Amino acid sequence: MARVICIMGIVYVHAWTGLTGPEFEALRGSAQDIMRWVMMDVFGRSAVPLLGLVSGWLVAGSSRVRNWGSHVARKARTILLPMVLWNVLALILICGSGKLFNLQVPWPPSLSWVFQEVFILTRPPDMNVQMPFLRDLFLCMVLAPMLVRWPGWALACVLALTGVCHIFDLGAPIILRVSILFFFTLGILVRRSNLADRITQWPLILAALPFLIVMPIQLCLTLTRDWDMATPEARELDLAVRIAAALAYWRVAWALTFSPLRQTFLKIEPYMFFYFCAHLILMWLGGPLLGKVFGKLGSPLYPIYFLTQPFMVLAVIMPIGMALTRYWPSAADLLSGGRLTGEPRRKTIPAWPEGA
């Protein structure tokens, strides 16, 4: 449940707008600009921390993680290899389509640029901008066999160090988004303390309250003031928003687990990694085409286009994933990191906790 709501929400961060930098500035503060920022922060950037936290939570409960060699080899197969393959596909499809159809897309200026786009060594890519999450998550997985053995006080020190690095924008080029290591480590601590299970017993409004308080503050500062998001003060507030968001979305995901939507979500979830990796390619290629129908940001029909983009992407991704699974299962297996194998996966719905 958490993967579905988080990954689909990321599309709002990368949604096609059709505008250049000066055009964005001209629309700053407009109704559609405010709508875009709200959806980006509430359903996009704010949901991402939970993905890192859940990864740490799952690792802390796995016995296989303690064998460093096999664990890293497995994660290279399920995280690193798909990242590289999708980056290669992005280069071929986006640059190739740009050349054929005269689209405004990046064109490789040098071999070193191509190398960076594919392997994301020291900087985020220009095209598949979501992929640094997988790069940094893999680094977290490399550290995981050590982290799961450390005592709580040592993990608390890791949290403090990564929190400071996030606030002062440190970590690159070793780890591009140090907040991912912060939430990965937090997920291990959450598993040890059984906090995730206890949160499921909280009233939904109580779990969401911190997020409902701090998110409007960040939005207000972003939209109504000349708020520099790169300052330590802004990044400190950003970290508080991310923590509150992870708490809120975990509780929302648990509520959805016992809602009428659960079967729909469980059918969608196996495609979510594939969705995460492919959606930027669809944004680059399909955005301008549909933009001719709905218009750019600021056009009367654009809000319909913007709000439905995650579902449009899903409507394309699932048939492609199904077709690959059926007719080219080896490709589906590689591109999904083993998540689409053609074999149905059993989903266990946990019992509602006593007293909840």
Q: C-alpha 24: how far from its chain's center?
A: 24
My answer on whether omega of the bond before 350 falls inside 30° of 0, hence cis, is: no
Question: 35 CB contacts (<8 Å, ≥6 apart)?
Answer: 303, 306
Structure tokens of 133? 């999450």
Contact 6, 49 (CB under 8 A): no
Asked if the model's pLDDT at residue 137 lies above 50, the reply is yes
* Residues found in the chain: 356
Share of the chain above pLDDT 70, in %: 95
Asked if the model's pLDDT at residue 225 lies above 70, the reply is no
pLDDT of residue 342: 58
pLDDT band at 355 (very low <50, low <70, confident <90, very high): very low
Q: What is the mean pLDDT of the chain?
A: 90
CA 229/CA 242 separation, integer angstroms: 14
pLDDT of residue 354: 39
pLDDT of residue 66: 86
Which of 216-220, 229-233, 329-333 shows the highest mean pLDDT? Answer: 329-333
pLDDT tens-digit series, residues 58-97? 999 888 898 999 999 999 999 999 999 999 999 999 998 8
Nearest to 188 by CA among 142, 155, 143: 155
* pTM given for the model: 0.92
**Amino acid identity, position 210:** P
Three-class SS state of 110: coil
Share of the chain above pLDDT 90, in %: 76
pLDDT tens-digit series, residues 141-189? 999 999 999 999 999 999 999 999 999 999 999 999 999 999 999 999 9
Nearest to 242 by CA among 51, 14, 8: 51
pLDDT tens-digit series, residues 302-352? 999 999 999 999 999 999 999 999 999 999 999 999 999 755 454 444 444
Query: Among the listed ranges 43-57, 124-138, 195-209, which one has the minimum average pLDDT value?
Result: 43-57
pLDDT band at 106 (very low <50, low <70, confident <90, very high): confident
